[in-house]
Homo-oligomer: A and B are copies of this chain.
C-alpha cells in the first residue's frame, strides 16, 4: 500500500516534467519515460506510449520495484526495469528521467563499443549534484541498445554499483538516463547533460 498524496504529488511532478522535456524537443513522438519515488517499495511512472507533452492524470501509474503494476490495469513503460534498478541501488534517489534527444542519440552512436563519453573542463559540470569544480571528470557509459530490458537493466545496475558518483548513462541510438534526489535535481541534470552534449558535438562540427 502506498500513500495516495505522495502518488498525487509524484504524478504532478511527472506531468510537469513532461511538458518541459517535450517542449525542449527531448521527448519527441511519444518516446521517453519518467518516474518518481513514493516510498521504499513503490514508484510512480509513465504509462507506455503516451504523448509526453500532454500527460494527464491517467498517464501516470504505480509499480513496485519489481516492476509490477499496483492498483492499476495499465501497462507501464517497457523500460520500467531500467528505472527500478536505480531506486534499488540508490536509496536517496527520488526521480529518474529517460529522454530521447537528437544530441544524446547522435553522440551515443559516435562513441565506440566498450568506451564511455568523457566530459571535462566545463564549468557547467558543477550543475551535477556533488560536483564542485570544473576540474572534475565525468564518465558517461554507453550501453548497446537492446529490446531485452532485463539484461540491459542488470548491466546498468552492475556498472553504477561500482561507479556511484557518475550522474547518468547513454543507450546507443536511443537516449539518456539520469536521476536525482528530487525531480527538480533530475531536470537540472538533463539540462546540464544536453548543454554538454551540444558543446561536444559543436566542437566536432567546427574541428579543423
Residues of A within 8 A of B (CB): 28-31, 51, 100, 102-103, 105-106, 109-110, 121-124, 126-127, 133-135, 145, 147, 171-175, 188-189, 191-192, 194-195, 198-199, 201-208
Selected from B31, B103, B135, B199, the residue in CB contact (under 8 A) with A124 is B31
- Complexed CA–CA distance, A7 and B207 (Å): 46
Contact call B109/A173, Cβ cutoff below 8 A? no
Q: Determine whether the beta carbon of A121 is less than 8 Å from that of B173.
A: yes
Contacts of A175 in B (CB 8 A): 123
Q: What residues of chain B lie closer than 8 Å to A133, measured between beta carbons?
A: 147
- In the bound complex, what is the Cα–Cα distance between A28 and B20 (angstroms)? 13
Contacts of A171 in B (CB 8 A): 123
* Shortest CB distance A189–B (Å): 8
Distance in angstroms from A25 CB to nearest chain B CB is: 8
Measured between alpha carbons, how far is A158 from B142 in the docked complex, in Å? 42
Q: A105-B122, A122-B105 are in contact. Are A206 and B201 (CB under 8 A)?
A: yes
A191 to B100, CA, bound (A): 12
**Residues in chain B near residue A110, CB distance under 8 A:** 203, 206
Measured between alpha carbons, how far is A110 from B205 in the docked complex, in Å? 12
User: Given the complex of chains A and B, what is the CA–CA distance between A173 and B106 in angstroms?
Assistant: 22
User: How distant is the Cα of A102 from the Cα of B30 in the complex, in angstroms?
Assistant: 23
Least distance between A47 CB and chain B CB atoms (Å): 16
Closest residue of chain B to A191 (Cβ to Cβ) is B29
By CB atoms of chain B within 10 A, which of A106, A110, A171, A194 has the most? A106
B127–A29 CB distance below 8 A = yes
15 inter-chain pairs at a CB distance below 8 angstroms, sorted by A residue, are A28-B191, A30-B127, A100-B124, A105-B124, A105-B199, A106-B202, A109-B203, A121-B172, A123-B173, A123-B175, A133-B147, A134-B145, A135-B147, A201-B202, A204-B205
Q: Which residues of B contact A202 (CB under 8 A)?
A: 102-103, 106, 201
Q: How far is the CB of A22 from chain B (nearest CB, A)?
A: 10
